[in-house]
Amino acid sequence: FLSPSYFGYRNNGDGTATITSYNGYVTGNQHAIIPPKINGLKVTAINPNVFASTNLRSVVLPEGLETIGFRAFQYNQLTEVSIPKSVKEIGLLAFGDNSLSDIYVYSKNVTYGNDVFANNGQVNLFGYRGTSSQLYSNLHYYLQFRALD
């Protein structure tokens, strides 16, 4: 995991935290491993735009994460991303304008914002049959659904 000092966060008052800023790009770090906890608080959300335009090539999202804000990872060079089963909501353009080829969605009940994966070219979306991921994939010509089950 990256040092908690790379992340600004808000204590949500219920034992959880929301990531509000990221400064790892200042050191040239292109690989972000988001910790499941920061200072004892469970990371459950990432605010909008936090990792946008930070030159990330890879990111590891923690189990326990529930919300990914709009444009959270837009304008990077991500090639693959795995969405943990705990994620419930992914905002508008959250992973737009990257270099994604494969997306793995382990959550069976995600609410997708508009154009979450737009401007990545043709992308394989791996998910479970009969879930919101399959439906979302069917609605977007650039997403090719691939069943995990």
Q: Residue type for 128, please? A: Y
- Would the pLDDT of 1 be above 70? no
What value does the mean pLDDT of the chain take? 95
3-class secondary-structure state, position 19 = strand
**Strand-pair partners of 11:** 17
- Return the percentage of the chain with pLDDT > 90, whole number: 89
Contact indicator for 44, 16 with CB cutoff of 8 Å? yes
State pLDDT tens for residues 40-59.
999 999 999 999 999 999 99
* Token output for 149: 């089950």
Sequence-separated (6 or more) residues with CB below 8 Å from residue 4: 35, 38, 39
Phi, psi of 107 (to 5 degrees): -75, 140
Q: The whole model's pTM is what?
A: 0.95
3-class secondary-structure state, position 146 = strand
Contact indicator for 115, 136 with CB cutoff of 8 Å? no
3-class secondary-structure state, position 116 = coil
| pLDDT in the model for residue 2 | 62
28 pLDDT band, cuts 50/70/90, is confident
